[in-house]
Copies of this chain bind each other. A is one copy, B any other.
Amino acid sequence: MTATIHRLNPSGRAPSLEPMMALVANDMNQVNSVILARMQSDIPLIPELAGHLIAGGGKRMRPMLMLACARMLDYTGTRHHKLAASVEFIHTATLLHDDVVDKSDLRRGRRTANLIWGNPASVLVGDFLFSRSFELMVEDGSLKALRILSNASAVIAEGEVNQLTAQRQVETGEDRYLQIIGAKTAALFAAACRIAAVVAERPEADELALDAYGRNLGIAFQLVDDAIDYASDAETMGKGVGDDFRDGKVTLPVILAHARGSAEDRSFWRDAMHGHRIGDDDLAHAKSLLEQTGAIADTIERARHYGQRAIDALGSFGSSQAKSTLVEAVEFAIARAY
């Protein structure tokens, strides 16, 4: 028997999420029905505001991963429909609150809810979706799923607070940065994937493997996001380019450029992260420093590292169409950087 080594080396056609979307299309229709049904309320502002974001072109990445993982485990039930909707509600609540925290005005290429309806409505509708997500989990009735998702929620919130206190602190180290994105982004990816093993009633080793897959994929996604925030235009990114720069978000590209830079460069980064150099010229200068120090290229290298770990975490699962889509999702995450 020959070992099958999945290498993170997209060749030929560009990696895409299309195969995964096609694979789980029927399940995703069910998830979407749950999402639409359960974001309703007698208070019209709730479905109006929630719907703006939920219908606003998100990829449903986390539900999709849960569905694809469940497919890989040959799960044929329907329990994951409610749980996937629950994960999407947690994610949506987080986005609503994030946009308030960051004072964002663009998300997925559209005006943010806080810009249209104001901060109070975004905070409260986020709370509603968060509560509703727990109602869905309780309806499923698995204490294990509840434990995984309530823990992930607390970890996400901790990560957000951690990020808030690291804001503008250009001395933030790579370890702390990884801790932050591991919490605010990767924890929900990990939980979404892990729950597939819970509903399929697989042994804990499978839970942990899927948790590791989701976690590493989530980190890779966030690293690439942070890289392309400096590389992309608003249309590609669906949010303003250079937003992280202007918000004083100390992401890995900045950490590397700061650590590798001259005294003068460091002074620039410090001033920039404190909001004193946020003009277009400053952004252009930042980009040139990121280029010179190899900070963007190495951020993407780090993403490749976590991407490879994600793929290797799937090693114990036999070959299948579903597994191939999970591997390709990793390749897709990385390929966005190019």
Contacts and interface: CB of A to CB of B under 8 A. Distances in A.
Interface string A140-180: 01010011001101101110111011000000000000000
Most buried by B among A42, A97, A134, A137: A134
Contact of A128 (B132, B137, B146, B154): B154
Contacts of A283: none
Interface residues of A, number: 42
B128 A164 contact: no
Contact of A165 (B43, B150, B157): B43
Interface in A232-281: none
Nearest to A147: B138
A131 B143 contact: no
Contacts of A156: 127, 131
Interface stretch (A5-13, A52-60, A115-123, A199-207): A115-123
A230 interface: no
A128 B157 contact: yes
A121 to B, nearest CB: 6
Contacts of A150: 131, 134-135, 137-138
Contact of A151 (B119, B135, B165): B135
A240 to B, nearest CB: 18
5 contacts: A45-B161, A120-B164, A124-B161, A134-B150, A135-B150
A119 to B, nearest CB: 7
Contacts of A45: 161, 164-165
A125 interface: yes
A195 interface: no
Given A131-B154, A131-B156, A146-B138, A164 B97 contact: no
A135 B158 CA distance: 14
Interface in A99-134: 100-101, 119-121, 123-125, 127-128, 130-132, 134
